[in-house]
Structure 1
């Protein structure tokens, strides 16, 4: 990995470390619904604590009106943490043994604009910059791209692991299986095309496959379809590409299992069927490496059975598996199955962009 790594740094004692993290967690009222991304940063915090560094956390939330105060209180359950509402009040960072979490960076327009003056103000708070926010490193924002140019900079422990494990997809152990579900057809279908010569088998499901079926002239009724610029119906003919054998459909509140060719115009495809899951199970057991991104069904609306079945198949499998994507990771976290996967990525869009381009703006910034 051709980027400077935090684990290789020696003298961090009493240094002010600006640690970019991604605490863009789901918040409902006064409740953090999933703290997966918070827990994943704890090893880096422990490392820095062990080196006697002062830690200042920088994060955003996708809701530009959402304060991170609740996140600070939650993090305090794991490690002594104080919330800083006024980021540039230098008197707020007085205790060396306290981790400080700054307010939502997106309260400041300079963050998303990659504003150099805003980055300079952030740089004045620290001596060293560490990026441990791989999941947002596809964004050309000030704390990701401009800030590391102003300070000695390193990739954090989680960032290092993300790049290491995701890079295995480029030269995977054989035989390998790529599973693409969920949405984002405009990103995932070009990825499927790119990996035709890399992966031994590619399964396309979720709403992504609806686009291919629609282009090929299949009746998919009221199913969700994303428009894309290129035609991908040729994937149907590729011997290494697998698509659902059967689907779960809904009509007037009633749910049933059908073959694709039997779907009617007033029906809606919402999940993969049991035959599809059975076929996937066989493919997984025969594979040495599986990369999975995206749920198989309309997960957020209760059509989760195929995705949960797939999680349980992986839990009983010895196949090396790397997984990512918002709904997929949320399901794995919800059912407490993280330990059964070799690596669970925090990245969604960042993961897909890295697989497509082998780099990200945040990675390039650390190389300079």
Structure 2
């Protein structure tokens, strides 16, 4: 896999950059720009090399044009960060877009509309991939959060153009590989969020190597549900993962209390005292204390996923644990989309050894040691 520093001849060549700009946008305003900021070194470096066309996506418009997911709000953000004009193309492919891309001069930047407005993106359609490839002469991948997707802009385009990895992409691989190759003990793995089908492989992968695995967030609720405890109206899946057998392992730590919501009021209850009308929205104070103590003793912390219901604003446990980790000298590698956003809002990004911009991509890499987006560059 070649770094962008290995691009030798870029004269009169248009560079395509696949960026991971899937950021929260509300009423046309970008709420968090950290995922954009981490790519600035790559963008600035490439802009000095030649004309630059940026490809990215927003949300899940399902292959249809939905202006709720337009990339236009990113133009002003990029212009402010880069202190230069950024052009915008209303379509990802086609004669008009190709003409704009090919007319760019060295240092000029063009942002394309949402890739996922096109059905060919998620289908990894050959014609769509070739259409994107026509826009440039060199391809650069720096969208680690999307590298686990076999989409046209990720695995299709590299088949037709000389391909390289951006600075952030290489940094992600470097630090996540460190977890796989240079484990430090005591090693604490913290898992939160939902979707046990994406977290179960991680538990199985690291159970032999870690000293403890703390399971929080909606994942913990799923465990208690399968163990036969009342979880009220909390977020759970209808699936049965056979979790009671897995969590019997002495290395696994579960919450001992929760913050629950009922009748618009929230309060703490023991894990075995949740009632039918209560909604578990965060970890309780005793659980937070127990986890903080484990963090103090750990030499390596790997964390993916929020510990509370982030969509409802219940981030207290996530925030307290984030602060606890930053107060230690342990190696700390954090990831997950919602976790990333909370940590970014707290201004703690630079307080950890490394904060991955990937969620599912981070998990897949840690399980498999590679990703479709990595293989496409090899």
TM above 0.5, one fold? yes
CA RMSD of aligned residues (A): 1.7
SS of 1:151 mapped into structure 2: coil
Determine whether 1:161 maps to 2:171.
Answer: yes
CA shift for structure 1 position 250? 2.5
Question: Within 5 Å, which residues of 2 pair with 1:190-201?
Answer: 190-201=201-212
Match of 1:60 in 2: 57
CA shift for structure 1 position 178? 0.7
Q: Write the distance in 1 (CA, Å) between the matches of 2:16 and 2:313.
A: 40
Gaps of 5+ in 1: none
Q: Write the distance in 1 (CA, Å) between the matches of 2:280 and 2:333.
A: 27
Determine whether 1:96 maps to 2:106.
Answer: yes
CA shift for structure 1 position 179? 0.4
Q: Write the distance in 2 (CA, Å) between the matches of 1:106 and 1:270.
A: 32
Question: Within 5 Å, which residues of 2 pair with 1:350-361?
Answer: 350-361=361-372
Q: Write the distance in 2 (CA, Å) between the matches of 1:194 and 1:265.
A: 35
Question: Within 5 Å, which residues of 2 pair with 1:7-22?
Answer: 7-22=5-20
Say which of 327, 331, 335 aligns to 1:324.
335
Q: Write the distance in 2 (CA, Å) between the matches of 1:103 and 1:263.
A: 47
Classify 1:11/1:175 alpha carbon distance in 2 versus 1 (closer, same or farther; 3 Å).
farther
| TM-score (norm. length: structure 1) | 0.94
Match of 2:255 in 1: 244
Match of 1:125 in 2: 135
Q: Write the distance in 2 (CA, Å) between the matches of 1:345 and 1:126.
A: 28
CA shift for structure 1 position 229? 4.7
Q: Write the distance in 2 (CA, Å) between the matches of 1:263 and 1:322.
A: 33
Contact 1:185 1:228 (C-alpha < 8 Å) held by counterparts: no
Match of 1:32 in 2: 30
CA shift for structure 1 position 84? 2.0
SS of 1:57 mapped into structure 2: strand
Contact 1:170 1:198 (C-alpha < 8 Å) held by counterparts: no
Determine whether 1:71 maps to 2:106.
Answer: no
Of residues 249-258 and 172-181 in structure 1, the stretch that sits farther from structure 2 once superposed is 249-258
Contact 1:244 1:272 (C-alpha < 8 Å) held by counterparts: yes
Contact 2:14 2:138 (C-alpha < 8 Å) held by counterparts: yes
SS of 1:366 mapped into structure 2: coil
Q: Write the distance in 1 (CA, Å) between the matches of 2:237 and 2:91.
A: 42
The one-character-per-residue Cα deviations of 1:92-143 (angstroms, maximum 9, x if unpaired) are 2323221111121122222122111111121122111111011111111111
Q: Write the distance in 1 (CA, Å) between the matches of 2:162 and 2:109.
A: 20
Question: Within 5 Å, which residues of 2 pair with 1:291-330?
Answer: 291-330=302-341
SS of 2:15 mapped into structure 1: strand
Q: Write the distance in 2 (CA, Å) between the matches of 1:10 and 1:177.
A: 43
Q: Write the distance in 2 (CA, Å) between the matches of 1:29 and 1:260.
A: 39
Q: Write the distance in 2 (CA, Å) between the matches of 1:73 and 1:303.
A: 30
Match of 2:157 in 1: 147
Deviating runs (4+, > 4 A) in structure 1? Answer: none
CA shift for structure 1 position 359? 1.7
Match of 2:220 in 1: 209
Contact 1:130 1:153 (C-alpha < 8 Å) held by counterparts: yes
Match of 1:270 in 2: 281
How many residues are matched?
364
Match of 1:45 in 2: 43
Q: Write the distance in 1 (CA, Å) between the matches of 2:19 and 2:273.
A: 48
Q: Write the distance in 1 (CA, Å) between the matches of 2:11 and 2:328.
A: 43
Contact 1:18 1:57 (C-alpha < 8 Å) held by counterparts: yes
| TM-score (norm. length: structure 2) | 0.91
Contact 1:7 1:157 (C-alpha < 8 Å) held by counterparts: no
Contact 2:47 2:106 (C-alpha < 8 Å) held by counterparts: no
Q: Write the distance in 1 (CA, Å) between the matches of 2:117 and 2:275.
A: 48
Q: Write the distance in 1 (CA, Å) between the matches of 2:354 and 2:127.
A: 37
CA shift for structure 1 position 338? 0.9
